[in-house]
Amino acid sequence: MKLYYIWDAYCGWCYGFGAHLKPLLQAHPDLELEIVSGGLFIGERSQPIAAYPHIPGANSRIAAHYGVTFGQAYQSTLAEGKLVLNSLHPALALNYLKDRLPNHQHYAIVTAIQSAFYQDGLSLSDISTYGKIAEQFSLDRQQVETDLAHVFQQASSPEFIQARQLGVQTYPTLLLEKNGTFYDVRGQAMTLAELEMNLDQLLQDN
């Protein structure tokens, strides 16, 4: 059995969902987690953040529902409107970092990437953003930045194809793979308790 978390680094609802997902994962340390980047802002959708005027309103709903906060630096970046949302770079960076850290740290990479944007207002296309994240995981900053300069030349991420193969069209999505079948863990869950109930039921079912 394995959990699959399909997300996007620039997905505000994914950022909020972390308030439920993190304690869920902590309660089930035996379950392997595979994180798949979905590619929300790629191609023609990769635009300056000002091109998406719904974001401030969505952030208010996310904060109200999940109790998360958006940093002042992020708010300034949002108000300026110039930062280009490009989901490819954080997807490639996450893949690179996952290859260098154990599975139990993979979700911590996700939260570090989210914090860099939603708290610190940093561009996830800026290699130096990941240099700072690398230091949080005791990785060599200069080596990471040098490597990512090459990695970022890739035109796409295989995870975007994987997300489509899983049939995922919305983010965040949490799936449980059990005996070759995939089950939607999140479903209609609105609270952590409901999410936990969904997962427990799936784990108990034959």
Tens-binned pLDDT, residue by residue, of the chain (206 aa): 999 999 999 999 999 999 999 999 999 999 999 999 999 999 999 999 999 999 999 999 999 999 999 999 999 999 999 999 999 999 999 999 999 999 999 999 999 999 999 999 999 999 999 999 999 999 999 999 999 999 999 999 999 999 999 999 899 999 999 999 999 999 899 999 999 999 999 999 75
Largest CA distance in the chain: 52
> What pLDDT is recorded for position 18?
98
Amino acid at position 56, single letter: P
- In CATH terms, is domain 2-204 a member of 3.40.30.10? yes
pLDDT of amino acid 152: 98
What does the pLDDT read at residue 147?
99
- Determine if residue 194 is left, alpha or beta; phi over 0 gives left, psi from -120 to 50 gives alpha, anything else beta: alpha
Q: Per residue, what are the HEC states of 60-128?
A: HHHHHHHCCCCCHHHHHHHHHCCCECCCHHHHHHHHHHHCCCCHHHHHHHHHHHHHHHHCCCCCCCCHH
What integer pLDDT is reported at residue 83 of this predicted model? 99
Say whether 34 sits in a helix, a strand or coil: strand
What single letter denotes the amino acid at residue 51? A
Residue 84 to residue 77: CA distance in whole angstroms: 10
pLDDT at 205: 79
What is the residue extent of each domain of the chain? 2-204
pTM for the predicted model, two decimal places:
0.96
CA distance 23 to 12: 19
